[in-house]
Amino acid sequence: MILANNRSILYSIKWFSTVKTVGINDVSGLPSGSTVFSMIQPSGKFHLGNYLGAISSWKALNDAKDNGGTLLFGTADLHAITTPKPSASTFRQMRKEAIASILSIGIDPKKAIVFHQSQVPQHTELHWYLSTITSMGYLNRMTQWKSKANVNANNRSEVGNVKLGLYSYPVLQAADILLYKATHVPVGEDQSQHLELTRELAEAFNKLYKAHYFPLPVTMMTPTKKVLNLLNPDKKMSKSDINQNSVIYINDEPDVIQRKIRKAVTDSISSEFKYDPVNRPGVSNLINIVSGIQKKSIADVESDISSFTSHKDLKDYVTEIIVEEFRGPRREFSRYINDPMYLEEVEASGAKRAIEIADKNLQSIKKYMGF
């Protein structure tokens, strides 16, 4: 059984529903025998948005785990190639940095299975099987591929140029989850629509083949709102941003974090600092970051900063909190990234364990289908 402790991100759960939000103060756990699955694209070292979006919940689950459940965490490197990479060597380095980042936040490869998606060929095989029961109408309603492809959904010419891999991305994601019969999937808010499709396909398979095989995975959403670009709070924080002062990485040195926060966009009001994402997006983003790191409500953070009388007060406070939060991960990332042999051992061991589960499940799936 996987249980949450008092200092972890804790889960408020009513198990008859399939969408959960991670609670802050409630002490609850996952049912015995749960399988938790989550992946992140290997775009290099983690930034603050990655960390608060879903990764910090991986750490909470890892810390609370005993031997009664299964944790699978890794890089979605097959998903990553739906957008071009600068070079093969760059992509390989990004994959290494992603594994180093996973380990640096405290994921224990003895407790969790850590691997690259591409190391387990059963992912793509199940992707094909599920694609045969996925309607184009459903995929047309998905929003993320339209955003990634930067197309106008009403423009047939633009839509016609979208690559098949990007279009069918949600089906592969469903295959990733269902391959391990995952019961719980911690994700950021931008992935909730993909989990809806996963449940639709699980139900469709079970109905078509008259089986009660796939569980309907629970979406575990973190309470932290999307972390925004420090210099342009109209968009989310992203590694691909040309101006890297807009992004904070887990391995940024304290002086770099301080510089980036000092440059962060705020506003002209210094008499009080309130969470108001419509009228004060920059200030609200900083408050949201503090809320996510400290596992406090927005109201509690507002109370903590109520005595501040300048933007410098606020920014110094935010800097201190981020620097302290990333002190351990920064040190550990440097250690792991400089030990490529160990990273390879973790990947190989994780892949072997993942394949054992994936192959057994895929054989059962194929038997239901008549293969």
Give per-residue pLDDT as tens, 10-52: 333 333 356 655 443 332 467 778 899 999 988 878 899 989 8
145: CB partners within 8 A, 6+ apart: 139, 162, 166, 167, 169, 170
Token digits for 367?
């038997």
CATH number of 21-226, picked from 3.40.50.620, 1.10.260.40, 3.40.50.1580, 3.30.70.2740: 3.40.50.620
Q: Which member of 85, 226, 236, 274 is catalytic?
A: 236
| Position with higher pLDDT, 89 vs 238 | 89
Q: Angle, nearest 10°, between helix axes 169-178 and 122-131?
A: 120
Q: Are 196 and 18 in contact (CB under 8 A)?
A: no
Q: Where in the chain is the domain with CATH 3.40.50.620?
A: 21-226
Q: Which member of 85, 226, 239, 296 is catalytic?
A: 239
Active site residue 360: no
pLDDT score, position 157: 63
Mean pLDDT of 166-171: 88
Active site residue 239: yes
Look-up: residue for tokens 């400089």?
A: 338
Q: Which member of 148, 163, 352, 366 is catalytic?
A: 148
Mean pLDDT of 51-71: 82
Q: Which pLDDT tens digit goes with each residue over 88-125?
A: 999 999 999 999 999 999 999 999 999 999 999 999 99
pLDDT score, position 5: 37
- Give the pLDDT band of residue 222 (cuts 50, 70, 90): confident
Q: Considering the entire predicted model, what is its pTM? A: 0.86
Task: Please state which of the ranges 34-43, 217-226, 233-242, 339-348 shows the lowest mean pLDDT.
Answer: 217-226
Q: Where in the chain is the domain with CATH 1.10.240.10?
A: 254-338
Q: Are 188 and 237 in contact (CB under 8 A)?
A: no
Distance CA 74, CA 117 (A): 7
Q: Does domain 254-338 have CATH number 1.10.240.10?
A: yes
Active site residue 45: no
Helix (H/G/I), strand (E/B), else coil: 33: coil
Q: Which pLDDT tens digit goes with each residue over 146-167?
A: 666 565 556 666 667 778 888 8
